Amino acid sequence: MRTRRDVLATAGAACAGLLAGCTGTNGGGSGDGTTETNSTTRTLTDVDVPDDPDVTTVDSMPTPVRGDPDADVTVTVFEDYACPHCAHYATEVMPRIVENYTKPGTVRYEHRDFPIPVSEEWSWAGANAARAVQDALDDAAFFEYTHTLFAHQDAYVDAGARGYDYLGTVAADLGADA
């Protein structure tokens, strides 16, 4: 008989393994927490400069969440929309976690964007599109959109410019602006 602790430990180990698998692919960026803006390098903590006309500040969107907000256990998942390991997790493992733990209210499930980037273009485009769906609709639509993207990752990652049409079509099918 497996205990909840055994299941959660196994899920945690699986997530760590997936994350390790993701970071072993062709990552990009310096990894030092900096970003390039108009030929000036700034740390991520410095981008909120109110008198800098080249910097736009935005309020962060809320973290997409499933399940009971007061659950004793929170599973936080970091995903890259172009990562094949993340796609496998999202289509094969995550539905079982939702069915067995999130729906009954045992686990609060949080999504975090984590563009490694596996693909300079699609790691960011997938995350931006999913967050646009969340902003236009709600968290439930976000998770449905995300599942569809991971289930059909080749429809945009390997499609060149037509990939943007796919992202828009899936959003429109859910009722968001393409």
Q: What is the pLDDT of residues 14-66, one digit of tens each?
A: 555 555 555 544 444 444 444 343 334 434 444 444 566 676 666 788 999 99
Whether the pLDDT of residue 107 is over 90: the answer is: yes
Q: How far is CA 133 from the centre of its chain?
A: 12
Strands (E), 45-100: 65-66, 73-79
Of 29, 3, 8, 31, which Cα lies nearest the Cα of 107?
8
Q: Which CATH number belongs to the domain containing residue 170 in this structure?
A: 3.40.30.10
Q: What is the pLDDT of residues 92-106, one digit of tens each?
A: 999 999 999 999 999
Q: Which residues contact 150 (CB under 8 A, 6 or more apart)?
A: 79, 81, 86, 87, 90, 91
Cα–Cα distances in Å, from 58 out to 50, 73, 84, 90?
A: 11, 30, 30, 28
Q: What is the pLDDT of residues 124-167, one digit of tens each?
A: 999 999 999 999 999 999 999 999 999 999 999 999 999 999 99
Domain assignment present for residue 163? The answer is yes
Whether the pLDDT of residue 174 is over 90: the answer is: yes
pLDDT attached to residue 20: 52
**Residue positions counted in the chain:** 178
Domain assignment present for residue 91? The answer is yes
pTM: 0.69
| Pairs from 9-14 (Cβ < 8 Å, separation ≥ 24) | 11/75, 11/93, 11/97, 14/89, 14/93
| 27: containing domain | 4-31+61-174
Q: How far apart are CA 115 and CA 61, in angstroms?
A: 16
Q: Which is more confident, 29 or 108?
A: 108
Domain assignment present for residue 50? The answer is no
Domain assignment present for residue 168? The answer is yes
Domain assignment present for residue 38? The answer is no
Is residue 138 within 8 A of residue 64, CB to CB? The reply is no
H or E element: which one contains 98?
none
**How many domains are there within the chain?**
1
pLDDT attached to residue 3: 73
